[in-house]
Structure formats: C-alpha cells, structure tokens
Amino acid sequence: MIGLVYRAAGAIRRRFYAHARDHGRLGEDLAHRYLRRKGCTVVARNYRARSGAGEIDLVAWDGQALAFVEVKTRSSEEYGAPEAAVDAEKRIALQRTAREYALRSGVEWGKTRFDIVSVVLRRPVRIEWLRDAFR
C-alpha cells in the first residue's frame, strides 16, 4: 500500500516539474489570459488538423475576425525575438490547418487572420501581440 502512495507522489512530482519547465505550455497559458483580457473570445486551444497538417496554438474571435494565433515563448531574447521563429514552412503549415478549421466551422476565409503572440519569460514577463502578422 505505501509503495502505491510513493509511486503516485512521484508521478505527480514529475508531472509538476515537467510542466514548470515547459516554456511553450506556460507561454500558451499566458497568451490565452492576455487575449481574453484584451477582449478576445478564445474558441480553441491546440487545434490539430485531421489531415495531420499541423497545430494552431489558439483560435480566437477578435471582434469580427477569427484569429489563428501562433504563440512563441522564450526565456530571453538572447538568440532573437520569439516571433522570428515563425518561418515560411511554419506559416504554410498554419495556413493549411487554418483553412481546414475555417471550412469545418463555416467561417469565411476573408474574415480570418494570423496573429503571433510573443512571450519572453524574463522578469517582468513581456507579452507582445502582433495582429495580422503574415501580411
């Protein structure tokens, strides 16, 4: 019986420490709260396309526009700004996945856009929202 308790405590401890070190997940949580504070309605998190084309971190309504949001998180800007990591290949994958989402949810493509939320986890945390980042 005591062995079961120790195994469960170990699993919980490993899960907690893994989450604490997971910058991406922490950045997504911060971006989600940030967008909600700015008036957006987040309708999906970590949306994965059925086709396997990719994943969209956040999908949110910002007024009349449906924003597909890529969240990039870094512990510092020592190696460049987080948003610089969204290259052409990533953009293509996001667009493919976004088209599938829009088609499945009946949203006109003209009412969509691609945003990037850049999170730097230094003290204080810096969050920057780049609207319509792909144009």
CA dist., res. 92 & res. 64, Å (int): 24
- For the chain, the domains span 23-130
Is 23-130 assigned to CATH 3.40.1350.10? Answer: yes
CA dist., res. 99 & res. 68, Å (int): 10
User: Smallest Cα–Cα separation from 115: which of 85, 71, 80, 49?
Assistant: 71
C-beta of residue 69 within 8 angstroms of C-beta of residue 46:
no
Per-residue pLDDT reduced to its tens digit, 25-78: 899 999 999 999 999 999 999 999 887 778 999 999 999 999 999 999 988 888
| pTM for this model (two decimals) | 0.81
